[in-house]
Amino acid sequence: MTVKEMIQGADLEVKAAANCLDTEVTGGYSGDLISAVIANAEEGNVWITWHVHPNIVAAALVVKLAAIILISGRQPEEETVKKADEEGIPILVSKQPAFAIIGKLNNMGIMGEK
């Protein structure tokens, strides 16, 4: 499934890198400790987080994540959007809390297992 297909199926709003939605999603990772994301997420994963600062884009680049999903309607900082647009990392927003969006993504076939 591509990021674009995931957006449509999970009712997500694109906040950055709208022209970079054709990446294949390989799975998902949820967590808010950036070092844990870098250590445990895998290339092509989507990352579910509440962080909104520019460091999330840096972590996504290191791991080569497909996208970042912000939960509970949180909005990325302006500098985060700018950096994500420059680097081609889609930032998406869900109105739902983490537990709900993770369940929805899992039902769509996006798993968190290695």
Longest pairwise C-alpha distance within the chain = 33
Domain ranges of the chain: 3-107
What pLDDT was estimated at residue 114? 59
The C-alpha atoms of residue 77 and residue 81 are separated, in whole angstroms, by 6
Q: Residue 100 above 80 pLDDT?
A: yes
**CATH, domain 3-107, list 3.40.50.300, 3.30.70.1530, 1.10.1740.10, 3.40.1390.20:** 3.40.1390.20
What pLDDT was estimated at residue 112? 87
Half-sphere exposure of 55 (CA within 13 A, CB side): 9
pLDDT tens-place string over residues 26-63: 999 999 999 999 999 999 999 999 999 999 999 999 99
**Mean pLDDT within 63-78:** 98
**Mean pLDDT within 92-105:** 98
What pLDDT was estimated at residue 101? 98
Strands lying side by side in the sheet with 67-70: 13-16, 91-93, 67-70, 45-49, 27-30
Residue among 95, 36, 44 at smallest CA distance from 71? 95
Polymer length in residues for the chain: 114
